[in-house]
Structure 1
Amino acid sequence: MVADQRDQQQEQGTGGRGEVFRAFLKLGLTSFGGPIAHLGYFRHELVLRRRWLSEAAYADLVALCQFLPGPASSQVGFALGYLRAGLAGALLAWAAFTLPSAALLLAFAFGADSLSGPTGQDLIHGLKLAAVAVVAQAVWGMARTLAPDRERATIALAAVLVVVFVPTGFGQMAAIAAGAVFGALWCRRVDQNAAGHLPLSISRRAGALLLALFLLLLLGLPAIAAWWSLPGLALFEAFYRAGALVFGGGHVVLPLLETGLVEPGWVSSDAFLVGYGAAQAVPGPLFTFAAYLGVIVEPGPDGILNAGIALLGIFLPGMLLLMGVLPFWDGLRHSAGARAAMAGTNAAVVGILGVALYHPVWTSAVASPSDFAIALTAFILLTAWKAPPWLVLMATVLAAAALGLVAQPN
């Protein structure tokens, strides 16, 4: 079967790569709604319509990418591109799905300074209130899915306490590690079985080398950046660390990036939240928020080069992990201990994201009863009415601008 697929890929050649690029460019321009929605778009376009792989194989691929840290929808897209047209197809799939939203956020970053007047500040405040609603929705949904019982709820609470009393990157990593340990002990009953078999072939040796490279960068980059004082290297390390520790969904990158960029003073809290709000209005993966941050961050080269460093840093670890774990996935997914540890890790990230909801998201945006009313309305629209995030964001920004106009003295 693998040989047949390789022959098919060779026969397709440039045509197969072109098909991958066109399919993912369409998805990159139209896929609003976050990673879960992206997975639905992929299934409709590539499994049902184009029949690139079976439903069972797609379900197994989704299970793998949700098991790993990193941007799940981008990892699924990368793997689908690899399945269709090899490594070139994987890179084209990633670029076509990622670059449209990255370009929009780049444009927003370069034009954000124009929003300096009273009306512009009201619009920026609306983006921050929209971020409150979006993060609250993420915490609510993840808590119901990833911490539904008392064991995992306790792990989530413990993660909150760790991060509150150790408000550093070390505290976040300690909370994740403790979640894995206690998950392995307490969460054996959690059912996370996957179905099907992935029709992708990567040798175990190649997988082991990719995993070694992932760990080498994760553990070695901080020391190299501290010893060799290059702003671009320090920036790459901060984004790589964030991308390597994102368990449980794209929104979890918020506290990791806040720790790596806002706390050292590279990005202001207000600018950080404004960009995060803007990222909700564009299609494609949430991780393209890194492009905006790369433009406004203090150290390192300027502009587009900085954004490229940030994008590479945040996406690279997830792709290395995906291709490294793939040869070992069949054995891993049947391990009760591995599934239990991942259940505990996911519960811990619920707690980490809950802390980020309070600070910096809530404390930087909600300053009055009217702010609370707007944020709550946006939250209800997202959760109860299932309104698209981009539409809720527009409504929130307009409401904040309208209130600002009413409050301005005549």
Structure 2
Amino acid sequence: MSQPPPSHTTDSPWQIFLLFLRLGLTSFGGPAAHLGFFHDEFVSRRRWLSDVAYGEVVALCQLLPGPASSQAGLTLGFLRGHYRGAVAAWLGFTLPSAVLMALFALTLTFWPNAADGGWVAGLKLFVVAVVAQAVWQMGQTLCPDGPRLAIAALVATVLLTVGVVWMQVLVLVLAGAAGVLLKLPGRSGESALTVPVRSRKPMAFAVVFLVLLAVSLVPQQAGTLGWIGAELYRAGALVFGGGHVVLPWLQESFVGSHAMPADTFLAGYGVAQAMPGPLFSFSAFLGMAQGSWAGAVLAVLAVFLPGTLLVFAGLPLWAWVRTHAMVRAALTGVNAGVVGLLLAALYDPLWTSAVHSSGGLAFVLVAWVCLAIWRIPVWVLAPVSALAGQLLF
């Protein structure tokens, strides 16, 4: 049976906000699950757009830096309610998890010794299993052949040898160049998503993105609001692959600069796995842990802003991008490099800081089996891991 054509009715920002707020409160399971929830709600039930058009939205967001599921929600809001609809969709989907993560950080502020308990050890081991599963799944999708596996392995090797932030950017650029040289295949086909452009706004968004990226490179004193904004904006602007891949970037920024203890950082990241909504809301924890609600708000805005600007700039260019084989090949190479980036992070800092004994290794293996084989949701496993850690360590 053919699907009815999508409706082009414009909803009010308030209606869009309420729809995405419900999803922000109930969408557990990470980016892949979020995209499934969006499809069920806006394609199958509400007929906002066709299956083919939704596939185009997902493909575009997966090619851009930033949180793919949040960018997809933002795009759906934009297509339904223009810029105000996009803001309403992002706010509704992000607000619940951001507030919960900020409150968790506030708890640690009033109870400084809480991060010294065995529950933190359990969460750290749980995060190792989560990222190992992410590497496995992303490797199967993004590295299905020898050339892409080689790119991922070389990226991981370089990062484990030279573990500095600027090297992460360089190896992803080189991975893109390798994709062009090797003529790696990318998605192609006739675009079903059309976004008419009647102004110069897309170019303006691209310029703002680049200007803010340049400003974020200006050195700041660690722990200040300016430093928080710069670090989070840079992470959101340069990270391909979503929430798990942002981990090594933020770990280097907040732990490497001694602005936050490693145990506190990984405890917050572990709790973020149990939250509904986008994993990038972990930024609220980082901002609040520096001492204020202003830091939490700034951190959330800063990490999501680059992806938002790129969506607004990239939507009108999507039809052009997907018809150019060289661009698709470069992005395919970058995606393979992302797998290597995450593989390196799996060892350092995660494995080196969490697994110190055979018991810890056994804990990780059990958690991984629960995730990969038994398909137990992460929002169930996170508190269970914390409780087990409190009892065992």
- TM-score when scaled to structure 1? 0.90
Q: Distance in 2 between matches of 1:94 and 1:343?
A: 27
Q: Distance in 1 between matches of 2:223 and 2:359?
A: 45
Q: Is the counterpart of residue 152 in structure 1 residue 141 in structure 2?
A: no
- Counterpart for residue 250 of structure 1: 243
Q: Distance in 2 between matches of 1:42 and 1:380?
A: 28
Q: Is the counterpart of residue 349 in structure 1 residue 338 in structure 2?
A: yes
Q: Among residues 109, 113, 116, which one is paired with 1:116 in the alignment? A: 113
> Are the counterparts in 2 of residues 202 and 326 from structure 1 also a CA contact under 8 Å?
no
Q: Among residues 190, 203, 216, which one is paired with 1:221 in the alignment? A: 216
- Counterpart for residue 200 of structure 1: 195
Residue 116 of structure 1 aligns to which amino acid in structure 2? N
Structure 2 gap ranges (5+): 1-6
- TM-score when scaled to structure 2? 0.93
- Counterpart for residue 76 of structure 1: 72
Q: Is the counterpart of residue 89 in structure 1 residue 85 in structure 2?
A: yes
Residue 327 of structure 2 aligns to which amino acid in structure 1? A
Give the secondary structure class of the aligned counterpart of 1:192: coil
- Counterpart for residue 360 of structure 1: 349
Give a deviation string over 1:136-179, Cα, whole Å, max 9, x none: 11111111111221111111122112212321111100011001
Identity of aligned residues (%): 44
Give the secondary structure class of the aligned counterpart of 1:398: helix
Give a deviation string over 1:303-329, Cα, whole Å, max 9, x none: 110011111110000010111011111
Q: Among residues 324, 329, 354, which one is paired with 2:318 in the alignment? A: 329
Q: Distance in 1 between matches of 2:389 and 2:160?
A: 30
Q: Distance in 2 between matches of 1:101 and 1:248?
A: 20
Q: Distance in 1 between matches of 2:322 and 2:240?
A: 17
Give a deviation string over 1:97-123, Cα, whole Å, max 9, x none: 0010011111111112537369x7111
> Are the counterparts in 2 of residues 187 and 344 from structure 1 also a CA contact under 8 Å?
no
Q: Distance in 2 between matches of 1:247 and 1:283?
A: 21
Residue 221 of structure 1 aligns to which amino acid in structure 2? S
- Counterpart for residue 162 of structure 1: 158
Give the secondary structure class of the aligned counterpart of 1:93: helix
Give a deviation string over 1:224-260, Cα, whole Å, max 9, x none: x45x999222211110110011112321000111122
Q: Distance in 2 between matches of 1:170 and 1:373?
A: 35
- Counterpart for residue 260 of structure 1: 253
Give the secondary structure class of the aligned counterpart of 2:22: helix
Residue 209 of structure 1 aligns to which amino acid in structure 2? A
Q: CA deviation at 1:387?
A: 1.4
Q: Distance in 2 between matches of 1:195 and 1:260?
A: 41
Residue 161 of structure 2 aligns to which amino acid in structure 1? F
Which is richer in helix?
1
Moved more, 121-130 or 65-74: 121-130
Residue 211 of structure 2 aligns to which amino acid in structure 1? L
Q: Distance in 1 between matches of 2:190 and 2:241?
A: 20
> Using a 3 Å threshold, how does the CA distance of structure 1 residues 180 and 326 change in structure 2: closer, same or farther?
same
Q: Is the counterpart of residue 281 in structure 1 residue 274 in structure 2?
A: yes
Q: Distance in 2 between matches of 1:80 and 1:354?
A: 32
Give a deviation string over 1:364-406, Cα, whole Å, max 9, x none: 11112111111111111111111111112222222222223xx
> Using a 3 Å threshold, how does the CA distance of structure 1 residues 303 and 338 change in structure 2: closer, same or farther?
same
Q: Is the counterpart of residue 390 in structure 1 residue 379 in structure 2?
A: yes
Q: Is the counterpart of residue 143 in structure 1 residue 139 in structure 2?
A: yes
Residue 236 of structure 2 aligns to which amino acid in structure 1? G
Q: Among residues 227, 234, 237, which one is paired with 2:230 in the alignment? A: 237
Give a deviation string over 1:189-220, Cα, whole Å, max 9, x none: x2422554224334462212211211121123
Q: Distance in 1 between matches of 2:114 and 2:35?
A: 40
Report the aligned-residue RMSD: 1.9
